Amino acid sequence: MTARERPEVAAHRYAAHGWPVFPCRFDSKEPATEHGFKDATTDPEKVDWLWRRDPALNVGIATGAPGPDVVDVDNHGEHSNGFGAWAEAKRAGLVDNPLAIISTPSGGIHAYFAGTEQGNGRIRERDLDFRSKGGYVVAPPSAVGGRPYAVVSHQAQGGTVSWGAIRDLVGPAPQPRRQADAPQGSPEGTIDRLAGWLERRPPGDRNFPLFWAAKQAASQGLLDSGARDRLLEASLQSGIRGGEQEALRTIDSGARSAAQPAGRPFARQPASPHELPRAPGARVKEDDMFGKAPREVAAAPEGDAARSALAEAQEMNHPADRGAAVASAGQRMTAVREREADREAGA
């Protein structure tokens, strides 16, 4: 591959190799299609169609068989990077014979291996991620923040990698492993149920589902580091907007909400006119504040009442009155959405 290769050409090359591809937004890791990696394809006609609007769109590869497995060695600077853990895995013979080594825009690397169905994982303490079934990576010649992904080395044939073996070697002290058939009432079963519900959310949904799931876990005393990682992974798979940092902020917000006394849904007081500086009659988009409500909520009488309250609040002329009323309507709408989430997730 040359530095001049166009993304659409690379997409066809990956697809011809049997790796399903889909477009990501220009200069971004965010999927450019409604269903993200679920739209990945190896069909050359579909690849043509996906890149027809903009041949410069970044290239995403759906990981896990038939696509590759990828070990992501993050680099957040001298004191926070995954190269030490990667070196340990190399010395132990756990990451030999990769198909390719790719340099990433952050200064880390992606190591590609033959695909399996292991699922995704993360060792946050060691700055290592793993992408297999249900994940994706952005691939060369894509760029993020103006910095490209580039091939360091590659070969026609490569081996597989065991994420479990890497985790056991370089991860933190092992905790009791989550069982796939964990009893529904157990802590593991509760987190599994919440994560499964998140994974079924429509792609592109806003952060409310993750907020609700984190609040549920925190209210039951289950939001430890393992549960946070599980919910984070599920939200990223479902295509939450804003990426990992926004997802982590949302989890923290859900945890804070769970800690509030009953009758006080939010830690913050109603917005002041300084926090909502809007001209008289200015509208507040509902999606900006509450995310996209499910159709069931839109049709529910209590949902209609909350929307009516929001509409009335938006018409208030005095900024202080409008700010307080909008915040109150927001609390009503959030309560409606939480009840709907309770029903959907079987809480």
Q: Which helix (H) or strand (E) holds 254?
A: helix 243-259
Cβ-contact 98, 112 below 8 angstroms = yes
Q: What pLDDT was estimated at residue 78?
A: 79
User: Which of 259, 292, 319 corresponds to the end of one domain?
Assistant: 259
Q: Over the stretch 307-337, which tens digit does the pLDDT of each residue have?
A: 565 565 555 555 555 566 556 666 666 666 6
Residues 54 and 166 in one domain: yes
Report d(CA 104, CA 258) in Å as an integer. 38
State whether 109 and 18 are in the same domain: yes
Mean pLDDT of 233-255: 75
Same-domain status, 145 and 232:
no
Write out the residue range of the structural domain in which residue 127 sits: 7-170
Question: Which of 208, 239, 259 lies at the terminal end of a domain, its last residue?
Answer: 259
CATH code of the domain containing 103:
3.30.2250
**Same domain? 26 vs 82:** yes
Q: Provide the pLDDT confidence category of residue 2 given band limits of 50, 70 and 90.
A: very low
- Do residues 27 and 150 both lie within one domain? yes
Stretch among 50-59, 109-118, 227-236, 319-328 having the lowest mean pLDDT: 319-328
The answer to pTM > 0.85 is no
For residue range 45-73, list pLDDT tens digits in order: 999 999 998 999 999 999 999 999 999 99
Least confident of 6-15, 41-50, 155-164, 249-258: 249-258
Predicted pLDDT at 241: 61
49 in a structural domain: yes
Residue 176 lies in a domain: no
CA distance 221 to 216: 9
Peptide bond into 209 cis (omega under 30): no
Same domain, 71 and 160: yes
Count of the separate structural domains present in the chain: 2
In this structure, are 17 and 140 located in the same domain?
A: yes
Q: Is 213 a domain residue?
A: yes
